[in-house]
Structure 1
Amino acid sequence: MTDGHDSARDERTPRRSRRRLDRRRFLAGLGTATTVGVAGCMNGNEGTTTESGGNETGGDFGEFRGSGALAEGRGELEGTRMADLPSLSGELTVYIGGGEGGLYLDLLSRLEARYDDFSVNHREYGTAEGANTLINESEATPADVFWSVDAGSLSAVANEGLTTTLSSEVVEPVPDAYHPEDSWVGTAGRARAVPYNTDELSADEVADKVDAFPGIDAFQDSFGWAPTYGAFQAFVTAMRLIRGRQETRDWLQRMLDAGASSYNNEFLVANAVADGEITAGFANHYYALRVKASRPDAPLDLAFTSGDAGALVNTAGTAVLQASDQQELAETFIRHLLSAEAQEFFATRLYAYPMIPEIPPVGGLPTIEELDPPELDLSKLSNIQPTLDLLREVGVL
C-alpha cells in the first residue's frame, strides 16, 4: 500500500449525508454516577468498572444494563433481543485481544449463565499479541472466534486469510463501514474526540480540524496526547493514509513545536484536562465519560472534529476463524454480541458506541450518524509499522 493522497482517495466511497453536529456541551447534564472506570487499554489492561446498585428497569435489559446516571431513564429499547436468536449450545474457544477491564469476561459469564449448555474457553492477549498469535498458529489455531478491541488487529488476521466470510444474518444490523468485506464485524465503537477544560474554552473555540490545533494559542504548551497508545497510533495511521506521509510528518512536528505533552494513556490525558493541567488533548470519547462518572463537577467536556483523521471512529469487533469446526455456533455467538441486550451492555458499562442504530449512546453524545468520520476503510488500519517508523523519526516516540 502507498501512503499518498491519490491511492487513499481512490478507495473512498461518496460521503453519505449526515446531520450537522451541534457543537454544544455534550456532558453538561451528566449527574452523579455510581459507575467508575479507570483506564489504560494498552495491551488489554483496561481498568475495572465497579458498580453500586443495579438498574432493573427495561425488562431483560436490567441484567445487562449498567447503573448510575449514564443508564438512567433508558427503559425499553429496540433491536433484536436474545430471546429471538437461536440458543447458544456448545463450547467455543475465544481469543480476546484487549480486555476492557474484564467487562468482556463479565458479558461472557452472563451468556454462560443464560444458556446452561454453553461455555467459553477464553484466552486473553493484548490486541497486537492476539493477532500475532493467531497468525503464527495459522490453520492450527484452536480458536473459534477472535474478539478484539481494535479494527487493525482484526484486519491483520483477516488479511492472512484466516477468517471466514460472515453471513448476512450476522452483519446486516451493522453499518457497512464496520464490517469491511464481511471478514469481521464491529461490536462496539469508539470515537476520537478532544476533551477540553470548560473553565478555559468553549466548544466553539476548539477548531473543527486537527490541522489547526498547533496554531491555537490556548493549546500552546497545554495540549496532551498519548503516543504509545494504540488508539493514538491508529489515528496517526488514518492521517497518514488520508493525507500522506509528509503532511502527517509536518503536522506531528508542528504539534511538538507547540509543546504537546505526552501521557502514558488517554485516561490520564482526560484527567489532566479535568485537573486544569492542560487545556485539551486527544482521547477516545469514553475516557471523558469515565472521568465525569467519578467526578461529575469536573470542568470537562468533549469536542469532535469533522471529516479528518481526528474524527476517526474505530471499533472493537469479532471474526470467525477458518480453522474452527464450530462456525455455526460462532456466528450465533456474534449475533448475541449484536443483540439489543449486549449492545446496551457495551453502551452503559463500557460507554462505547453501540453498533446497531436502535441503541443510543449514553451521556448526551452525538450518534454515529451525527459524527463525521473520514471515509476510510478500517481494514487499512492494520498497516501500523510505517506509522511507528514515522513517530520515531519525528521524535514523538
Structure 2
Amino acid sequence: MTDTHSNSTRRRFLALGGATAAGSLAGCFGLFSNDNTEVGVSLSDFRGSGPLVESRDQPGGTSIQDLPPLEGDLTVYLGGGEGGLYVDLLDLFEQAYDNFSVEHRVEGSSSLATTIIEENEAGASQADVFMSVDAGSLGAVAKAGATQSLPSEALEAVPGSFQDGDGRWVGFAGRARAIPYNTNTLSPSDLPNSVHDFPDTAALEGTMGWAPTYGAFQSFITAMRLNRSDDVARSWLNSMQNHGITEYDNEFAVSNSAANGELAAGFANHYYSLRVQSARQNAPLDLYFTEGDAGALVNVSGLEILSGTGNAELAGNFVRHVLSAEAQEFFATRTFAYPMISGVQPVGGLPRIDDLNPPDIDLTELADVEGTVDLMQDVGVL
C-alpha cells in the first residue's frame, strides 16, 4: 500500500472554514476601458459573497480595464448545467460596455456540439463562440474543423494541460475530484495517496459514499479507464462495493453527509464541499486530494471561437475577457470553481490548480462515457 504519511503540502489540512487571503477588499472601484471611459461595473459586481469569500486580496492577472472594450453583437452557445451562471457573466459584460450585446442559447453541451457541427457543414454558422462545461464537446467541435485559433494571449494565460494542443479551445474554470471527509472521524494520515488504495484502507471500510449515476463520477471512472485500464476500473468498482459503500443521488449529498458524520468520507467534485462549508461555516468537513490518478482528475469548462463567425476580432477579445482577473474571480467566488489563471486564488484554502497533480490524460477523451456506463452496469453499480 502507498505510504499514507506523505508530506505533500497540497494534501495537508485545508482550512475551509477560514479566510484564505491576507488583506481585504478595499471597497468597490471603477473599471475603465483603455480609452479611460468608465464602465458600469466594479470588482464587487463580479465577486461573490459569504464566509469563504471574505478578506480576499484583489485578483491578479489581466484586468478588463487593460483590454480593448467589447463592442458589437456576439452570439454565444452555452452548453451544460452551468449555463445560467455563464449568463450572469455575460450580463456583467453587457453592463460594463454600452456598445456590447450578447445573444445566447443554453442547451446540453453534446446537443449544442452536434448543432454547431451540422451548421458548420451547411456553411450556416449561427454562433460566434461555444462555451461548454464539457471538454469532450469542445474537442468534438474542434475535431470537426468548426473552430479557429484562439488569441495567443488567452492560450498563454492558461496551463497547457487545460487547453487544446492545437490552440482551438481553452479552459476557463476547473473542477477537481477530491475526497470530502469528516474531520471528527479522520485525519489526512488516515487517507492513502492513491485512489486505488482506498478499497484496502481498513479505516474506511463501510464508511464511504459515492453517486454513481452522476456525470462527474462517470467522468472519474472514464479517467480511470484511460489512465489505467478497463480491467483496473472494473476491479476497483467491485472492490469498493465489497468494501461497503453507500449510494447517493448526487455529490452534494455525499459531501453534506460527510459533514453530518453519516459518512467518514466520499468521492465528489471539490466545490460541493465548499458549498456545504459556505452554508455551515463550522462543519467538520475538509478536502483531501490524491495524486496522479483518476481520483485527482481536474476537468474544465472551456470555450472556443467558431470558424463561421463573422466577428473573429470581437470573439477573440471576448475570450480574453473570460480569462480576465475579474471574470476568473467570478468563477472562483460565485461557483467555487478553480480559476484557470495563476493570479486568481481559489477559495476555501484550496491548493492552487498548478499545485495539484492530476493524471496525464486528454480531457476531450472524457466524452466517451458509453464504455464506462456499460462497465458500471456490468458490475452492478448502475
Structures share fold, TM-score greater than 0.5: yes
Displacement of 1:316: 0.7
User: Which residue does 2:155 correspond to in 1?
Assistant: 171
What SS does the corresponding residue of 1:379 show, helix, strand or coil?
helix
Q: CA 1:267 to 1:173, structure 2 compared with 1: closer, same or farther past 3 Å?
A: same
* 1:218-257 equivalent positions in 2, closer than 5 A: 218-257=203-242
Verify: 1:20 aligned to 2:2, yes or no.
no
User: Which residue does 1:115 correspond to in 2?
Assistant: 97
Verify: 1:367 aligned to 2:342, yes or no.
no
Verify: 1:184 aligned to 2:169, yes or no.
yes
Q: CA 1:348 to 1:221, structure 2 compared with 1: closer, same or farther past 3 Å?
A: same
Displacement of 1:361: 0.9
Distance in 1, matches of 2:77 and 2:26, equals 31
Displacement of 1:58: 6.1
| Kept in 2: contact 1:27–1:302 (CA 8 A) | no
What SS does the corresponding residue of 1:199 show, helix, strand or coil?
coil
Verify: 1:152 aligned to 2:136, yes or no.
yes
Distance in 2, matches of 1:153 and 1:286, equals 22
Distance in 1, matches of 2:202 and 2:256, equals 21
Verify: 1:260 aligned to 2:260, yes or no.
no
Displacement of 1:242: 1.2
Largest Rg, 1 or 2: 2
The letter of the residue matching 1:150 is D
Verify: 1:104 aligned to 2:86, yes or no.
yes
Displacement of 1:230: 1.8
Distance in 2, matches of 1:133 and 1:229, equals 25
Q: CA 1:138 to 1:269, structure 2 compared with 1: closer, same or farther past 3 Å?
A: farther
Distance in 1, matches of 2:204 and 2:146, equals 44
| Kept in 2: contact 1:58–1:76 (CA 8 A) | no
Match of 1:129 among 100, 111, 121: 111
User: Which residue does 1:379 correspond to in 2?
Assistant: 364
Distance in 2, matches of 1:27 and 1:100, equals 27
Q: CA 1:101 to 1:157, structure 2 compared with 1: closer, same or farther past 3 Å?
A: closer
Displacement of 1:260: 2.2
Distance in 1, matches of 2:346 and 2:226, equals 28
Displacement of 1:225: 1.4
| Kept in 1: contact 2:83–2:106 (CA 8 A) | no
Verify: 1:57 aligned to 2:49, yes or no.
no
The letter of the residue matching 1:236 is I
Q: CA 1:396 to 1:157, structure 2 compared with 1: closer, same or farther past 3 Å?
A: farther
- Work out the percentage of aligned pairs sharing the same amino acid: 54
User: Which residue does 1:199 correspond to in 2?
Assistant: 184
Q: CA 1:366 to 1:93, structure 2 compared with 1: closer, same or farther past 3 Å?
A: same
Match of 1:66 among 18, 42, 48: 48
Verify: 1:278 aligned to 2:263, yes or no.
yes
TM-score (norm 1): 0.85
| Kept in 2: contact 1:23–1:204 (CA 8 A) | no
What SS does the corresponding residue of 1:70 show, helix, strand or coil?
coil
User: Which residue does 1:95 correspond to in 2?
Assistant: 77
The letter of the residue matching 1:337 is V
Unpaired runs of at least 5, structure 1: 1-18, 32-54
Distance in 1, matches of 2:269 and 2:204, equals 19
Distance in 2, matches of 1:215 and 1:327, equals 53
Residue range with higher mean Cα deviation, 303-312 or 69-78: 69-78
Distance in 1, matches of 2:237 and 2:168, equals 33
Unpaired runs of at least 5, structure 2: 1-6, 20-24, 30-41
Query: In angstroms, what is the RMSD of aligned CA positions?
Result: 1.8
| Kept in 2: contact 1:57–1:75 (CA 8 A) | no
Distance in 1, matches of 2:45 and 2:26, equals 7
Displacement of 1:377: 2.0
User: Which residue does 2:37 correspond to in 1?
Assistant: none
TM-score (norm 2): 0.88
Distance in 1, matches of 2:140 and 2:175, equals 19
Q: Report the number of matched residues.
A: 356
Distance in 1, matches of 2:92 and 2:112, equals 23
Match of 1:311 among 296, 302, 305: 296
1:359-387 CA-to-partner distances (Å, cap 9, x unmatched) read 11111111112211112222222222222
